[in-house]
A and B are shown apart, each in its own frame.
Chain A
Amino acid sequence: MQKSDLGFFDFGLAGTSLQAALIAGLLAKEHGKKICFFVEGTLELRLSREINLSFDSFCRPQTWDLLQKSLKETLPIIHKIGGKRAICRINPLILCKSKSNEQAMAHLYHLLRNNDFEIEKLSIKKFPDAIAAFRIRGAHLVRQHILWPKIKAWLKTSGVAVIDSEGMQLVTHRDGSALVKTASGSIAVKRMILADEQAILNYGAQNDVERLFDKCLTSTIITKPAQKSNESLILNSEYRFSARSTPHGGFEVLADVAMDQMGILMGNFVDKDTKFKLLARNSFNNLRSKDGAAVVGKPSVSSAWMVGGFGYLGLFFSPSIARYICQKPNAAEQQYFVSHSANFKRKTQNIADFRSFLSGQL
């Protein structure tokens, strides 16, 4: 291992998401590993770039089987870290605009309904711009602004070294170890994990990223209070669109579109007559997996681990992912993550899932 200014660690994790933070903390707390977590220092006051919800348009039953088990484990962990207000129950509305999305939701509807999941099909009379509408009952939504500061405090008490990732450079070695150079100094890690799409985009090997992911642009906005909406969360899978009502009466919106296309989506899915005005906005480069399925593992022996493509569900899979990283998965987890491997053995035809329409925009 190379010389390190700030010590040696079992794992280095990079990421900007709650998924990345929770994996880092669990590796330290539950598995006793020495962890260094590289995260943007400005994250607290930045607009959120994720949504953590126990529903997404994954059409493979394996994903839902694993999610059901993972939720039972993850929810108490989140409650313990973030308190009761860290998660709320919500009934999102899902709108479909295209035939392909309607088809995917139709398959997903029956898959979930037959598993006694609370999902209902709605009449589209109330939603003139949609060709299909569904509602999920009792989905779990994480309140990021409550959980983020608390999870950072929890990381520190769990013994995780939290380092500002500004100017970070990653050098991976043949044996899988890595040297991470930051403004604070260099840090040597035995294994490097790029724990979400932003980390993969910023630090992943280009040929691996291009093989597994499509680049896209994601925009996020907070709107000023407008006409009060009866919906607490509106989703559309083809544009990865999510519009959440905020306490001050506006919307917090994420979608895989450019900023100047957001108005079109808001008009289509929220309210066509309201001219939404912005309180805050940001656009950033993002990744979506080429086959629509999650990506876990090392693309090659010397690569950093990649964890991505879990959509809204990623946070809830964190304990399973942490076990898999430590080579202690249970049988179901082993089967799932091996099939979703990032390396060349990944059999896309077995795991391919619904792909949002704008994947590959850039």
Chain B
Amino acid sequence: MENSKLHRLTYKSDALFSGQLIDRGKPVHFTLNSRAYKGFSGDSVLSAILGSGVDTIGKKFDEEIALTPNFCPPVMDTSDPGAKVEIVPMNRMPALEGMQLFSPVFKGQDNGEWKKPFHLPFISRGRSLKYEWNGSEAFLDFYAGDVGDPVKEVENFDLVVVGGGVAGLGAAKAAIELGWRVALIEQRAKLGGDAVFFGAIEGEKRPKDFIENLLGEMQKHDRLRIFLNAKAYSLNNNNVLVHQVSSKNNTLATRRLCLNAKHIILATGLLERPPIFCGNRLPGVMGARTAFDLAADYGLWNGQSSAFSTASSVATQVALLASDMGIIIEKLVDSRASPKSRFFEFSKAYGISLATGTQVSSCQSQQQKKLLVQFELSSYPSKEVGEALLVDSLIICGGWLPNLNLWIASGGKTKWNEQAKQLQAFGMLENIILTGACAGAASMSECVASGKDAILELAGKKKTAQSFFTIDFEHESRDGELPIAKNKANMAPRYLDMGNSFKQPEKFSKKTLWSKIFSAKQDGKKAEITLGTGYSLVDLTAKITLGEIPEKFAGFFAKERCCVNATLNKLEKTPMEEKLLPPLTTELLPKYLHYRFGEPAEIVELNSEQKGNLEIGCLVYRDQKNIASKYAIGAVIALDFGPDKKILAYINKTKTRDLSSIVIRNGTYFATISI
């Protein structure tokens, strides 16, 4: 494509990177913000735009930011004036023929505003969507709960499984066999999760066969309902709120529904964390799993030459697959000192230039959309090694952590595992169980076994011994620690995550950081902002690894601040709302008036001629001389009491014995009333 690096890989029927979700024989044309784009049937709007050569969302503080599935704007289709407008994230909106899409502009914080993209007509589109914002957080974290009507559609099941990977499929299968009605929710367009990406270990079947074997007879079962393209965005007691996007006859259809179940399985898999270096969110830099998914699902790859930087063996497989498609792998660096992996051995056979104990030091944009990548030793950050490399794209992988977002949202506890350097779930929740990779399972067979075990536990049955294949760490090294490069002046920022939060490492040392946040000289406003911002789990993990947040805070911090996709949403007309209704009646003499004016005090009826200028609460005095509250001898408690609409006052009668009238004060107005 003109001025672009992102392109569709040549189709090969037997290749994994074939774009299995798209139909290249059915092109689709649509516009976004009045710019024309082309894709294929099966594309999402994002993948079609990426395939059109646009890989940049815009600029944040004058630095370009990559457009990726982790960070992309919401869009809405205005092609049918009569249809209800639905705002859907770009990566979940299907690309349909004739769509006229617009991306809503949201205001930013710190008075930073998103600037509406401006395109000159008839000028080449370039590679950017041209958004600009200067706030400290992005506002593109739209998700299903933001707009639209409250959830009205409710379906009931015995079990809801969130996650259609092998663990979720294993759990669903076991539940079906017990006679349960099961709902299986998967946010992608296909089942299987990341099984193909992580691959099989020795002894296991191929992932494709594994998944087909699991699905087998199950998908024909009328007790199983599968919801694809469905994102679970909230979990509330026994209710899972889901947003589903689909298309039928070239028409967009969205549903917001509540799946109610006695039991819930969370098989939400893993989150990818990026290595931390300057420029880790520049256009052309992409996570290994993201690159894999774009290539496998949509046949997309960025450029003709790529470099890889990884702390995990699985990213090496991506390099091999890309090489099979004709991509030149300039270099693959692994931050681990002596990694063992079959993929690493294959890479040597492929002739890929390899380096261990090495990580990316920095990445800079260059002319003609190239990236200049500098490397350094992992054990001596800032000690650069080798020549800087000029490539089209940089594929990175900093390791994995369990996706515990819904677990935390449900009240599940977490704590930091120092050995694994990740936040892990612990404890129990009633009727919600974590299973699969997010619960620590490492292989496909172990994931399936954990799914089955979860069902047995929920059913109150005894777990049976299951066999599964485990990773042999003698021959397959564990993931390395998070690669962290130091900050460098005049370069793009280092980000902790590749999503919506845009958190960066603090600029100062650990000691100075704590004194910066909590010392007497710290500006209070900055402290509030620092403490008042949200975090993703990847941010939190990075902050703990960097030593900026102590480990002992991890569980609390995650519970309180990792609120990804949380809104103050509610189902319509829940019993909870009725509990909030205050009582309809009030007491004539509430308890806070008892003994207030001394004893004996009683309720007295007063002449009501002047009640138009009086109010409940007006204080009663002996005269107009001493009118501070402490001299009050009573108060008005009712203005229209009884059929005669009398004024009632609660007065200390001993203080009125010598009086023929009293004074009621309403601010500067005084009413003298005979008694």
Which residues does A use to contact B, with CB under 8 Å?
Answer: 41-42, 44-47, 59-61, 64-65, 83, 85-86, 97-101, 103-104, 106-115, 143, 145-146, 149-150, 153, 221-225, 238-239, 246-250, 252, 257-258, 260-266, 275-282, 291-292, 348-350, 352-355, 357-358, 361
Contact = CB atoms under 8 A, between A and B. Distances in A.
B79 to A, nearest CB: 26
B84 interface: no
A114 B619 contact: yes
B629 A104 contact: no
B557 interface: yes
B518 interface: yes
Given A44-B518, A103-B616, A104-B592, A278 B567 contact: yes
A56 to B, nearest CB: 13
Listed residue (B559, B590, B628) with the most chain A CB atoms within 10 angstroms of its CB = B590
Contact of B568 (A83, A100, A262, A280): A262
A292 B584 contact: no
Given A143-B528, A247-B532, A281-B566, A100 B553 contact: no
B525 interface: yes
A259 to B, nearest CB: 8
B528 A246 contact: yes
B146 interface: yes
A215 to B, nearest CB: 15
B534 A275 contact: no
14 contacts: A42-B553, A45-B557, A99-B585, A106-B615, A109-B617, A114-B627, A115-B628, A145-B527, A145-B531, A146-B524, A257-B580, A276-B568, A280-B532, A282-B559
A221 B568 CA distance: 10
B54 interface: no
B566 to A, nearest CB: 4
A41 B552 contact: yes
Contacts of B591: 291-292, 348-349, 352-353, 355
Given A145-B528, A275-B145, A281 B560 contact: yes
A263 B569 contact: yes
Contacts of A111: 617, 619, 629
A59 B589 CA distance: 13
B577 interface: yes
A46 B549 CA distance: 12
Nearest to B237: A260
Contacts of B518: 44, 149
Given A99-B586, A110-B618, A46 B556 contact: yes
Contact of B570 (A104, A150, A263): A263
Interface in B562-617: 563, 566-570, 574, 576-577, 579-580, 582-587, 590-596, 615-617
Contacts of B549: 45
B373 interface: no
B576 A260 contact: yes
A107 B580 contact: no
B475 interface: no
Contacts of B182: none
A288 B445 CA distance: 52
B531 A260 contact: no
A352 B592 contact: yes
Contacts of A100: 582-583, 586-587, 590
Contacts of A282: 559-560
Given A42-B556, A248-B533, 18 more contacts: A45-B549, A60-B596, A106-B616, A145-B528, A146-B527, A149-B517, A223-B568, A246-B529, A246-B532, A247-B529, A248-B136, A250-B532, A258-B576, A261-B580, A275-B569, A276-B567, A277-B141, A278-B568
B439 interface: no
A225 B665 CA distance: 44
Contacts of B569: 263, 275
Contacts of B596: 60-61
A120 B478 CA distance: 67
Contacts of A83: 520
A136 B427 CA distance: 46
Contacts of B618: 110
B567 A275 contact: yes
A280 B582 contact: no
A114 to B, nearest CB: 4
Contact of B524 (A61, A85, A104, A265): A85
B589 to A, nearest CB: 10
Contacts of B519: 149
Contact of B628 (A114, A146, A250, A292): A114
Given A264-B570, A349-B594, A248 B617 contact: no
Nearest to A59: B592
Contacts of B137: 224
B624 interface: no
Interface residues of B, number: 72
Contact of B528 (A247, A281, A349): A247
B149 to A, nearest CB: 12
Contact of B632 (A104, A114, A348, A357): A114
Nearest to A348: B591
A281 B569 CA distance: 14
A113 B108 CA distance: 41
Contacts of B520: 83, 149-150, 153
Contacts of A257: 580
Nearest to B108: A225
Contacts of B532: 222, 246-248, 250, 252, 279-280
Contact of A350 (B525, B563, B595, B617): B595
Contacts of B616: 103, 106-107
Interface in B417-459: none
Listed residue (A150, A250, A279) with the most chain B CB atoms within 10 angstroms of its CB = A279
A275 B147 contact: yes
B592 A107 contact: yes
B387 interface: no
B38 interface: no
B236 interface: yes
B561 A280 contact: yes
B572 to A, nearest CB: 11
A204 to B, nearest CB: 23
Contacts of B552: 41-42
Given A97-B582, A107-B592, A279-B532, A248 B524 contact: no
Given A101-B582, A110-B635, A111-B629, A280 B570 contact: no
B509 to A, nearest CB: 18
Contacts of A112: 629
A358 B576 CA distance: 12
Interface in B641-675: 665-667
**Interface pairs A-B: 8 shortest CB-CB:** A263-B568, A98-B582, A106-B617, A149-B518, A146-B524, A279-B534, A352-B591, A59-B592
Contacts of A279: 532-534, 561, 563
A53 to B, nearest CB: 16
B217 interface: no
A341 B25 CA distance: 83
B337 to A, nearest CB: 34
B630 interface: yes
Nearest to A268: B580
A223 B596 CA distance: 41
A260 B582 contact: no
A262 B577 CA distance: 10
B251 interface: no
A353 B585 contact: no
Given A264-B570, A280-B561, A110 B147 contact: no
A277 B520 CA distance: 32
A278 B236 contact: no
Nearest to A65: B630
Listed residue (A47, A86, A115, A277) with the most chain B CB atoms within 10 angstroms of its CB = A277
B14 interface: no
Contacts of A60: 592, 596
B469 to A, nearest CB: 40
A110 B615 contact: yes
